Amino acid sequence: MDNRKPPHDPDHLLEDLKKIQDLLDESGAEPPLLTESFEPDNIPLLSDVVTPAPQAPAPPAIQPVEPNAVPQSSELNRLDLELRAAAQLILQDVIDDFAPRIEAELQRRLEARMQRLLAQRKP
């Protein structure tokens, strides 16, 4: 059996990364905006007295669940875990493929910057 990986197309890998990001992004919420004004008085301190939040009334008694609902839920959870594991493996493959290129580019830029700084230092 041949265990070699087929060559990856960078466009295809980028597409895979975007799909993985969408898959792993559960919240879908926008990042918080940093446009609110800062007021030091609004930051709670450890010395502030904190009152407990009001408790919601107790939920009604648990109703029996249909026997078929539990296996479907556990099956969905299992599939979700498998998909997430597969997505992480794909993401790791992409990282492994691009890491040497990124390191080489960073090294090239660092050396170029160092040469410019050394050239400026010499009178």
pLDDT digits (tens, 9 = 90+) for 50-101: 666 667 666 666 665 555 545 578 889 999 999 999 999 999 998 888 888 8
| Mean confidence (pLDDT) of the chain | 74
Q: Are 25 and 84 in contact (CB under 8 A)?
A: no
Q: What is the pLDDT of residue 6?
A: 56
pTM of the predicted model, to two decimals? 0.34
Q: Are 88 and 21 in contact (CB under 8 A)?
A: no
- Sequence ranges of the domains in the chain: 96-122
Residue 28 backbone class (left: φ over 0; alpha: ψ -120 to 50; beta: rest): left
Q: What is the pLDDT of residue 80?
A: 93
